[in-house]
Amino acid sequence: MGTVLVRLALFLIILTFIAVILGEYIAKVFKGEKTLFSFILRPIENLLYKLFGIDETTEMDWKAYSFSLIIFSIIGILALFALQELQHLLPLNPQGLGAVRWDTAINTAVSFVTNTNWQAYSGEGTMSYLTQMLGMTVQNFLSAAAGIAVAVALTKAFAKKESTNLGNFWVDITRAIIYILLPLSILYSLIFVSQGVIQNLNPAAKVKTLQGTEQVISQGPAASQVSIKILGTNGGGFFNANSSHPYENPNAVTDYMQILGLLIISAALPFAFGILINNRKQGWAIFAAMAILYLLGLTVALYSEFHGNPILSKFGIHNGLNMEGKEVRFGILSSVLFGHSTTVTSCGAVNAMHDSMMPITGLVFMFNMMVGEVIFGGVGSGLVGIILYAILTMFIVGLMIGRTPEVFGKKLKPYDMVMAVIALILPSIIQLIFGAIAATHSFGLSSLNNAGPHGLSEIIYAFASGAGNNGSAFAGLNANTPFYNLSIALAMLVGRFGTLIPSLAIAGSLIQQRFVPDEAKFPTESPLFVIMLVSVVIIVGALTFFPVMVLGPILEKLFITTGGLF
């Protein structure tokens, strides 16, 4: 246990150190200041503006910013859908794969554009190299950049006063890509290739096994997609097994780098937020709230896995430790750390099968997604989500002390509260409604591999993953059916735009206000605020999802303690 604690402590220290440095860099990028790489990247940035006719000095109000985000996303969905349907006519398809089934193509297009990367298909058996590169990898960059852009726009609402302009959407996504996502992805790709992650355009290899049978080994340009799937908290794997596949994640070095990559940009954005609003302590307070929530969930998940399955103990397995669904080369600690990190960050990449985790571990992973992916969260969307919870927290504080609520120096109006509640509750409503429909109709139940509470957990997890824009799966549910493809696609759209658009509306309201005088402010950089923010996130999640959790993972845990199986 001592070794485990040392490894975790070292991991968190390294993560915090990188996040602070990267946060400073991100703040400079969006302030338009000179950075270490400006001499190379600034000419590229100017060239892109000239090619696409963008005036970087022209700013947008929240409606124009939202309209740009929506149009950008619609074009992305249509382009990715068309690419899947035409891939059998296009080059770089050495396996001769046909057009993707229409409902799977719709689900996949929505999934990658919304930064969810839910995959109802087998990557190596469904998508051509061109579709993977031009479709999935490109959208990994674009959807991540869009999330960062919205976070920057919301940040400006607290940094500026008596204005209507949130910046320029096209400038923000351009800077997010070329200054942040692209350099980090190049660095990560080189590290991955050096460690054995494949990057080629070769067709699948056919080899003879020791038993004398033929085995097909898929290949392709994996490293370039793996790097951005991790850094952009996208999660879509080049191979069906995702980061448990040795071609995507061959050893302990790549596994460690992937877990770190899941968190670094999302963990850096609170520090960038603090710098951009001229209050560095505020950045540390938000980071502290995220880190506390992260550690609480990780502690519960590790306790659950290391205490194992009492049923296995009856068969003489040491401590009942459950290695089903886990890679031996990673073990329990790395499997849980990866699973926890991927569900708190809306990434969805996996190095172990979540369906095989202990029930309480699965509960933690579901809770991470159900609260809106705010425990670090997706790149950009995580910061947006925690700010929404901060708005709710300060509204409660205002009711308790009897004064007009304010947050980060801006007063909150009824309109702001309505928008915040919509953004926080709408994804929860959609996942519970669709989960209930699936659990009570044959078209939802026919895809289950397990009965009882575990089967319910598989259904709820799927819709929590979609509405939370996460993309991971319990892997015990066949979701590649018209019902699941279309319903999860709708959940992904609601989870993405039902959160980002109300957030931009809040930004448009707050940016018009003056700053609250210091004597009228509640100290939102204080430990008390951090504790209240953490409490509100936990309470909202518990009140919303406790009944379904009781019927799913909690009931399964009780059955296991009595020797019950499904």
Residue of 27, 155, 271 lying closest to 507 (CA atoms): 155
pLDDT at 161: 86
pLDDT at residue 321, rounded to an integer: 81
| pLDDT (0 to 100) of residue 88 | 95
pLDDT of residue 4: 80
Give the closest residue to 170 by CA, choosing from 51, 73, 68: 68
Q: Residue 379 above 70 pLDDT? A: yes
What tokens does 111 get? 């999934």
Cβ partners under 8 Å of residue 423, min gap 6? 388, 498, 499, 502, 503
Confidence of residue 1 (pLDDT cuts 50, 70, 90): low
Mean pLDDT of 103-113: 96
Residue 323's pLDDT is what?
84
Mean pLDDT within 294-317: 86
Amino acid at the residue 545: F
The 8-class DSSP code of residue 215 comes to: E
pLDDT at 402 exceeding the cut of 80: no
Lowest mean pLDDT among 4-13, 106-115, 241-250: 4-13
Backbone angles phi, psi at 252, to 5 degrees: -65, -30
Per residue in 131-189, pLDDT tens? 999 999 999 999 999 999 999 999 999 998 888 899 999 999 999 999 999 999 999 99
416 to each of 48, 394, 397, 499, 507, how far by Cα in Å?
A: 36, 12, 15, 13, 9
- Cα–Cα distance measured from residue 301 to residue 338, given in angstroms and rounded to the nearest whole number: 11
CA 71 distance to own-chain centroid: 22
pLDDT confidence band for 451 (50 / 70 / 90): confident
* pLDDT given at position 221: 94
Share of the chain above pLDDT 90, in %: 76
477 has a pLDDT exceeding 90 = no
Which residue from 233, 290, 238 is spatially nearest to 261, judged by alpha carbons? 233
Mean pLDDT, residues 266-282 taken together:
96
Question: Is pLDDT of 519 > 70?
Answer: no
pLDDT at position 520: 66
Q: What is the mean pLDDT of residues 497-513?
A: 95
Q: Which residues contact 18 (CB under 8 A, 6 or more apart)?
A: 260, 264, 267, 268
Given the DSSP bridges, would you call strands 410-411 and 205-208 parallel, antiparallel or unpaired? unpaired
C-alpha 415, offset from chain centre: 28
pLDDT attached to residue 254: 96
Q: What is the pLDDT of residues 221-250, one digit of tens each?
A: 999 999 999 999 999 899 999 999 999 999
* Element (DSSP H or E) covering residue 227: helix 222-231
The mean of the pLDDT values for the chain is 92
Task: Assess contact for 60 and 164: CB atoms under 8 A.
Answer: no
pLDDT value at position 316?
A: 66
Name the packing angle between helices 381-401 and 527-549 (round to 10°). Answer: 100
Cβ neighbours, 10 Å, residue 3: 8
pLDDT, average across residues 419-430: 94
Is pLDDT above 70 for 566?
no
Q: Are 333 and 11 in contact (CB under 8 A)?
A: no
Task: Look at residue 209 in the predicted model and tell me its pLDDT.
Answer: 86
